[in-house]
Amino acid sequence: MFFFLGDRIVPEIYNQFSLAPWQIRARTDLGAKAETIRPNVSGAETLSFLTGLTDNLKRASIQTYFKVEGTAKSLLVLGNQDPLLVEAVAGKSRIFLFASSADLAWNDLPLTAAYLPLLQGLVKNAVGMTEISVDAGIQFGEPFSEKGPPIQTKGPRGGPGIYQFRLPTGEVRQAVNAPVEESDLAKISEDELKKKFGAIDLKVVEYAQDGLNGQRGGRKELWPVLLGLLLTVLALEMILANGMPLFRR
């Protein structure tokens, strides 16, 4: 079970959850003095995958979070040593509490390459998946090692997805993954974007907290236009009904 906190959280209600060995305290707004993230070495020794995410986690910044106290194991901490991600065991279940939001409201972790591997790693660890249980597949564009015509069963036609081979030894399925470049989160320059999109008019908008308000789609009332059109038609009908001669022989 995952808990992500946010601006609608009432700590007093969440603290009544009997299976959680933590207490949610005051909300902390750091503003421009955002904190960085790092694995808690003493608390995450069993989660080796966190070590591989250290560099990407450091690129994230946390602006707002709730202080958390209690006996839960701390997996991720902030630069000021406040817990960010804590774990508790309840029977055969695992409970995770992330002290900030799951979206971009309070942090920019979802924009880093660590976000998805972090959640996947926690789920795999919680269910006891310590090793990769499926074939890693091949990259898009690489040749198949299987002989015979491939039959695509999943994914966009001719692109990444699942391909089926009917061999004399039985049915085999092969995963074709998207190119690695599609997972590159490095910023691309405006000139490079214009080259890729060609003649399409392109405008680059930099993300900033509450900075997209002017770029979002707005709402426009249509009833004044429709009412004006209706009144115009009504006026024309009244003119014709009163017999006003529009044309004379």
State whether 150 and 88 are in the same domain.
no
How far separated are the first and last CA of the chain, in Å rounded? 85
CATH number of the CATH domain containing 90 = 3.40.50.880
- Which residues does residue 151 pair with via DSSP β-bridges, in sequence order? 164
In a domain, 21, yes or no: yes
Cα 51 to Cα 112: distance, rounded to the nearest angstrom:
16
State whether 204 and 227 are in the same domain.
yes
State whether 117 and 33 are in the same domain.
yes
In a domain, 148, yes or no: yes
| Range of the structural domain that residue 220 is part of | 183-241
Q: Which tokens go with 146?
A: 């299987």
State whether 150 and 120 are in the same domain.
no
In a domain, 117, yes or no: yes
Q: What is the pLDDT of residues 106-156, one digit of tens each?
A: 999 999 989 999 998 888 888 777 655 556 788 888 888 888 889 999 999
Beta strands in 62-200 (DSSP E): 64-70, 73-78, 83-90, 93-98, 138-139, 151-154, 161-167, 170-177
Q: What's the domain count of the chain?
A: 3
Q: What is the pLDDT of residues 186-216, one digit of tens each?
A: 778 888 888 888 888 888 777 665 555 555 5
Helix (H) or strand (E) holding 195: helix 190-197
Token match 């009504």: residue? 234
Q: pTM for this one? A: 0.56
In a domain, 103, yes or no: yes
State whether 90 and 22 are in the same domain.
yes
